[in-house]
Amino acid sequence: MGNNNAVFIEPNDIRRASIIWLHGLGADGNDFVSIVPELRLPDNLGIRFVFPHAPVRPVTINGGMSMRAWYDVRNMDLRREEDAVSIYDSARIIEQYIAAEVNAGIPSERIVLAGFSQGGAMALHSGLRYSSKLGGLLALSAYLPLPEKFHNEASPTNKTTPIMMCHGTYDQVIPASAGKQSCEFLIQAGYTVNWLSYPMEHSVCLEEVQDIGTWLQTILD
């Protein structure tokens, strides 16, 4: 993947792990760059951060305006008219980012797929279908898209991959109930999911960032 398609933050130490962090609808790869120092991750973890830019596409619920989006949203009810074509297209893009890290010498089990909102949805969708073992999946203010296709497409390789889902209880964009429903769906399917909620809207808060930092240290240490 070309350097123009993502923002990269290199570690101060030898590169030992990678976190691929996917932004939400209408943002770009710069959106979560400022979060990196707040995670307070020790230098010896050697983490390289990759913040890809989603493709630009028309988004139906935003009047057909073109913006960076991993997939189209056609209905405020997230389960109606899901745009499977662009979800799968974006999954292929994300797999290329994972492959690039593996080719750079990072074992797949030292790669974490993270994302906010649409990006978190894509982290779950792509990570749970990925053929090689990943280090962890982090979904912030997100949900699992296309659940009806999940059981036929999920990769057994990532059945034991640590999953963390965080959500704001006052979220009016992706209701916490949608995230919780996806969490329970995955637990019933045999996955281990760490669910945390915070008194916030569709955003990220300091306590959440600290919890994420602790979790990342635990799975990458």
Q: Which residues are catalytic?
A: 117, 171, 202
Residues 6+ apart with CB under 8 A from 181: 143
Token code pair at residue 205: 């808060």
Q: Report yes or no: 48 and 101 within 8 Å, Cβ to Cβ.
A: yes
φ/ψ of residue 73, rounded to 5: -120, 115
Q: Is 14 in contact with 42 (CB distance < 8 Å)?
A: no
CB 147 within 8 A of CB 185: yes
